[in-house]
Every structure is written in C-alpha cells, then in structure tokens.
Amino acid sequence: MTEAAHLPMREVIRRAGALPNVRPVRFVPLLLPMWAVEVVATVRESHAYDVFDRYLTRALAEAGLSGTAELAGFFGVEPLLVERTARFLERIGHVRPGDGGWELTALGRRSVADGRRYLLSPGRRMTLRFGGSRAEPVPFAHATHSVWLDRPALTLPDGTVFAPAGASPELPAGSVSGLLERDDLADFTGPAVPVRVEAPRPRRVWLPVYLVECEDDPVVFGWAVDGPDPYLLRVYLSHAG
C-alpha cells in the first residue's frame, strides 16, 4: 500500500457529481508521465529596496548622475553615505565603478526597472518540472501543490489503483534552456527565478490524477486545484493525442 497521495475516489465522485452540466460516465485513476529536472541554479531573488539604495540606483538610471560627490550634493547627504551605499550595491552586483563614478550593471538596471532589489544566489538546488508529452513547463502552483511519484504505482487506502497513462518520450534537450528564456519564467519557478543552471539531471516522475469521462467533454481532477483542473486536462489530452 502506498501512502495516501490523492483524494479518495468517493470524494472525486462527490465533487464531480456536484458540478453543473457534467454527467460523469466513468472515473479513471491515472498516472500522467511527467519530467522532473534537478538543477543547481543561480537564482534571482526579489527583495524590497531600502530607501537610499533605491534613490541612488534611480539617480544612476534616470538622472544622469554618477560621481560620488555629485550624487551626495544632489541628495544633500554626506559623500560617505553615498560611497557606502554604492559599495553595498556593488557587493550585491548592482553597480560597478565606471568612468569617474558608478554605473549600473544589467542586474541593477533590471532591478530599478522592476522596482525590486534582486539578489543573485548561486548554488540553489531546485527542481524544474515538465509535461511528459510536449515537455511544457509545469505551472508553479501545480509543481508545488501536487504529489509527484518516483515510480508509476499508487494505491490509495481506499483501494483505488492508479495506472500509468502510457510512456512519455525523452525530454527534449532544449527544454530547460527554453524555459529559462521565457518572459513568464516566474510563473513556473516561483519567486526564486533561476537565471543560470548547472548539471541538469532529468528523471521521470508520475502525477496521479482522476480522469472523469463524461457524456460530453472529460474533466480531470488533481491535487493542486479543488475543482476540475484545465491545465491537467490539457496535459492529459496532449498525452492521449
């Protein structure tokens, strides 16, 4: 017996029965084949700016100021305060010494544009998850709130047996790099956004779901969403072809 990793069948039957315009015909416990890629990543974490570091960065970005003395004069503070703030920003990779003053790095420009103080943290172990059929990244909510199985076997305490929904093709080589290039990357990785990854190690995992065949279109129940899960339905349909 495997530990309880999903809703019992009767609960799914109850929920499906409560849905308007849904007439279930058959409940099929399935294990959708998916991919998990373990990586060691340099992640970009988002923090709130303090006061002066924010204004100093903005002065570099928007006001055409760069020298310590002119920045101090502009803000009406001691040059040492500017110097120490700039050194702090240099330590976290937001500014670097430039031509007679300070200039923003790419990370600093990105931070000031987004109004968030980004920090790069190397060596973070994380798991990136992809669909088994089309190798599309799994949304962060599903990645974190789902139960992922290392083996294609699951039997619930109520005796419900989940069967693998077939095999999946190999994970395409560019899946991870393609994910990192997406503008909506944070939707799949959460607040700690990977900017570089090393040593990706893909492995097959399985996601238990209930396929509810209906008189009309089927619906799929997972763990991450209370009701029918449109994302899981898309994954199932792409897998079923």
> At closest approach, how far in Å is the CB of 79 from other proteins?
11
| Residues near other proteins (CB under 8 A), total | 23
The correct pick among 14, 23, 84, 151 for binding other proteins (CB under 8 A) is: 84
The correct pick among 52, 140, 148, 231 for binding other proteins (CB under 8 A) is: 52
Residue 230 in contact with other proteins, rule: CB under 8 A: no
Residue 104 in contact with other proteins, rule: CB under 8 A: no
Q: Which stretch binds other proteins (CB under 8 A): 20-28, 80-88, 120-128, 233-241?
A: 80-88
Residue 75 in contact with other proteins, rule: CB under 8 A: yes
C-alpha torsion sign, points 124, 129, 134, 136: negative
The correct pick among 29, 39, 44, 85 for binding other proteins (CB under 8 A) is: 85
> At closest approach, how far in Å is the CB of 40 from other proteins?
20
> At closest approach, how far in Å is the CB of 60 from other proteins?
11
Residue 113 in contact with other proteins, rule: CB under 8 A: no
Nearest CB to other proteins, comparing residues 71 and 209: 71
SS (H, E, C) the chain: CCCCCCCCHHHHHHHHHCCCCCCEEEEEEEEEEEEEEEEEEEEEEEECCCCHHHHHHHHHHHCCCCCHHHHHHHHCCCHHHHHHHHHHHHHCCCEEECCCCEEECHHHHHHHHHCCEEEEEEEEEEEEEEECCCCCECCHHHHHHCCCECCCCEECCCCCEEEECCCCCCCCCCHHHHHHCCCCCHHHHCCCEEEEEEEEEEEEEEEEEEEEEECCCCEEECCCCCCECHHHHHHHHHHHC
Residue 92 in contact with other proteins, rule: CB under 8 A: no
Residue 88 in contact with other proteins, rule: CB under 8 A: yes
Q: Which residues bind other proteins (CB under 8 A)?
A: 50-53, 55, 58-59, 62-65, 73-78, 80-81, 83-85, 88
